[in-house]
Structure 1
């Protein structure tokens, strides 16, 4: 196998690392304006070709894996109309407030969705949801040192009947492996947290750490 890899010119010892690409945008336009997101068409130069692509121009989002002292996570079940499912998820929300810091947005979502505050915030994962058709990126935080807040937020629409459940991380991990949960955010959060715990949570970084992926996306979307 190693000989085949070397013959192909590939290096199996190189670490996997996404790299930003600076391409020339030839033309761009909004082809559909939606209630929450728009569809953007961009024409760009890549490998000496002029290509055109449509994609969802997304605000980006943050999510919170709430973890208590017993290694339980707080899961919420919410109706999602596009897939006609009442999905188990974790608290999350859009970065749709102009200039709002992602960590501040995560704290806001935690309070609004599950009436909690947290003293300890760490970054668990950054990822692109559907890079073939959307520029959405998500930062997932771990929140610990929890306390209830006195003011309960009034929830409407699909959030009006949110169900909340504390689930042991081990049980959530099994639910992910057994395809019982399908939401990408909770899947990535649970699998990443399970792996991080096996390393003594050494993969976590401070909650206010820079978010290079978002900085690059915003700089190239102007």
Structure 2
């Protein structure tokens, strides 16, 4: 049974030369600038290497603190991907996205969040779950990490079992089932811009090529 904490895959051998790795440079001091219901802003004064080996320098770096998120590429028996249109105020766009949500429930890991969001946003459950690549969407500015999953063996959840009321942006969701090949074309044509959606679609297309053998199944 895989853990819901979604640990990073081990990278060994030649691949280890080109692989992201945890690191932490010394922080001289830190100050919270803002705290909202979903995220916070912080300034760290970080000790960094100086120019041309001339000692070190302490430099301020602003960044967003974020609990992370999980997104689901739901693939049905006909090879179609579920896309949902949602208004995103910060971008000034309506965007077609995968079902997704923040990891903001106490004790809930990425996989549990993905399962919950698939039920709440799409009214679906899945029999099979696989990991897709996780990523940092804006690493120069935010600590947010998005965990991607592929869900297969879908079934409809009876309405009386869904203890969730859509409101605000989610009250205006529209949904379409799009053949995976068509979804790839939409990505390559620049019609889709949500990072999790773009990465999820392209990763799913690659996974289909080997019958999902390259993916790790999670429970």
TM-score by length of 2: 0.85
- Alignment size in residue pairs: 197
Q: 1:124·1:203 contact (CA, 8 Å) conserved in 2? A: no
Match of 1:190 among 197, 201, 208: 201
1:116-155 alignment runs, 5 A limit: 116-151=124-159, 152=162, 153-155=164-166
Return the offset for 1:166. 0.4
Which of structure 1's runs of 4+ aligned residues deviate more than 6 A? none
Structure 1: runs of 5+ lacking an equivalent: 1-11, 209-222
Note if 1:70 corresponds to 2:78: yes
Asked if 1:158 corresponds to 2:169, the answer is yes
Relative contact order higher in (CA < 8 Å, ≥ 6 apart): 2
Q: Which residue of 1 aligns with 2:115?
A: 107
Structure 2: 5+ residue stretches without partners: 1-13, 50-55
Deviation at 1:60, TM superposition (A): 0.3
Selected match of 2:88 from 59, 77, 80? 80
Root-mean-square deviation (CA), in Å? 1.7
So what's the TM-score if we normalise by structure 1?
A: 0.84
Partner of 2:104: 96
Matching residue of 1:59? 67
Offset of residue 68 of structure 1: 0.9
- Matched with 2:189 is 178
Superposed counterparts of 1:203-222, under 5 Å: 203-208=214-219
